[in-house]
Amino acid sequence: MAILNLTPDSFSDGGKHSLDPAQIVQTVREMVKHGADIVDIGGQSTRPDAEEVSTQEEMERVIPAIEAIRKAGLTVPISIDTYRADIAKAAIEAGADIINDVSAGTLDADMFSAAATLNVPIILMHMRGTPKTMNSLSEYKGDLITIIAQELSARVTAALAAGIRRWKILLDPGVGFAKTGAQNLEILRQFDALRRAPGLCGCPWVVGPSRKRFVGAVTGESVARERVWGTAGAVAACIQGGADIVRVHDVLEIGKVVKMCDAIWRGVH
């Protein structure tokens, strides 16, 4: 899953991608050429302490981009990275295929009903609070993996109750969201156990360690775009633990890591 942030303030690539439709199409063509199977488009930063933008501004960033990609004849699946139901609905109508909600339906009460009506896959990520408050909510009283599993399972239950089919649900452990660096490492270390936790078995998993602060803390790189090699190690751990999709910035480089990991652990080459 290739990351295409159409934001000025994302932690790693804020302002990198132009809002010009022709340039967006060219960027997506390159991502697909380099091995992207899905392109994840976002119009609002969810980095720690990020300021919320208006629904209108988010809409103006992502909808023309999706329309341009489809008008250009590109058929790569698109996921819309949003926690707003109105954005998700407009994006799917414009040609997106998947909803990627970092809040797992907690920040917009209409998200689950919208996803059920649209009948599209939805990624439910574990997060506490909002991007503005999540860093203050990283205390887990008990076993980290057990608590994340319980909280994520509760969101699965809520999604099912809203009419979303279980086979439309993908899960994300929320690396970097309401987690300390040590907790992020523990998630990767115990990822296989998390996948097998009660209420979560059988769902596909998405993991996004790409360029995150905990990677830089280990490798000594303060600049996010320089964390490619550290990200490669984290991605290898994700795949070894059973991840089905990895969400990354560096598609060409990490694509090679994915191919090698698949050959080692899944016999696919």
Q: Residue for token digits 């969101």?
A: 155
Domains of the chain: 2-265 (3.20.20.20)
Asked if pLDDT for residue 18 goes beyond 70, the answer is: no
pTM of model > 0.85 = yes
Q: Model confidence over 140-183: pLDDT tens digits?
A: 999 999 999 999 999 999 999 999 999 999 999 999 999 999 99
Token digits for 171? 């899960």
Report residue 204: phi and psi, to 5°. Answer: -70, 150
Query: Known catalytic residues?
Result: 212, 247
Pairing of strands 122-125, 169-172: parallel
Asked if pLDDT for residue 16 goes beyond 90, the answer is: no
pLDDT confidence tier of residue 47, bands split at 50, 70 and 90: confident
Q: Model confidence over 73-130: pLDDT tens digits?
A: 999 999 999 999 999 999 999 999 999 999 999 999 999 999 999 999 999 999 999 9
Pairing of strands 39-42, 122-125: unpaired
